[in-house]
Amino acid sequence: VQLVESGGGVVQPGGSLRLSCAATGFSFDDYDIGWFRQPPGKEREGVSCISRSNDITYYTDSVKGRFTISSDNAKNTVYLQLNNLKPEDTAVYYCAAVHKFRGCTVVAEQFYNAMDYWGKGTLVTVSA
């Protein structure tokens, strides 16, 4: 089982990045995919999630209107488009999979220990 994130980097405030999460080794259709982030010295935070069965999405309040999650089923890949980035968005971004029976509620309620699979993360730095 692998979740591999990519797309992180250094960007100026107001800039954009697109993060990718490529999944292999498990039945992609049976899992919802979430994005978490962990700023330096802070707790991990659930940022967004997409339900694989009905494409319902979740966003934490601080990113609503700026981040967009999407899924390419043919590529077993989930994307997180980050727009209008702010310095407080600086963090390691992780994608994680949770079985659809538990679903994105786990992400919304910040139960990151309940996620089934994790990637290794990609660093996003927002700095002038």
**pLDDT tens per residue, range 58-112:** 999 999 999 999 999 899 999 999 999 999 999 999 999 999 999 999 999 999 8
What digits encode the pLDDT tens for the residues 117-128? 999 999 999 999
Mean pLDDT in residue range 6-28: 96
Compute the distance between CA of residue 128 and CA of residue 125 in angstroms, rounded to an integer. Answer: 10
Helix (H) or strand (E) holding 45: strand 45-50
Q: What is the pLDDT of residue 117?
A: 96
Yes or no: say if 46 and 110 are a contact pair by the CB < 8 Å rule. Answer: yes
Lowest mean pLDDT among 32-36, 50-54, 56-60, 115-119: 50-54
- 54 pLDDT exceeds 90? no
Alpha-carbon dihedral sign for residues 36, 38, 39, 45:
positive
CA distances from 13 to 56, 67, 88, 124 (A): 29, 14, 10, 12
